[in-house]
Amino acid sequence: MRISFILAVDESGAIGAQGGIPWRVRADLQRFKRLTMGHHILMGRRTWESIGKPLPGRVNLVVTRQKGYQAPGAIVVDSPHAGL
């Protein structure tokens, strides 16, 4: 099994700000889509909530420790390991 990670951070090391990403770069989003289309994508609950819906063309997995958490259109797992 091949596992790839995609992570983007700003100059201060932040990966998010107020429920979203701290920048908006169209080419960045297009690259993310190209790399992830047709694959499984594992994200945390806060990322899922900031997106608000499943990313089309991918199997969406959401990691959370919240018992009974519902993520319509995604598979909910309780650890990154369980998502793999």
Q: What is the pLDDT of residues 59-84, one digit of tens each?
A: 999 999 999 999 999 999 999 999 99
- The 3-state secondary structure of the chain reads CCCCCCCCCCCCCCCCECCECCCCCHHHHHHHHHHHCCCEEEEEHHHHHHHCCCCCCCEEEEECCCCCCCCCCCEEECCHHHHC
The CATH number covering residue 5 comes to 3.40.430.10
Q: If pLDDT is split at 50, 70 and 90, which confidence band does 12 have?
A: confident
Query: Tens of pLDDT along 15-52?
Result: 777 777 777 889 989 999 999 999 999 999 999 999 99
Closest CA to 77 of 45, 38, 37, 35: 45
Structural domains counted in the chain: 1
Containing structural domain, residue 32: 1-84
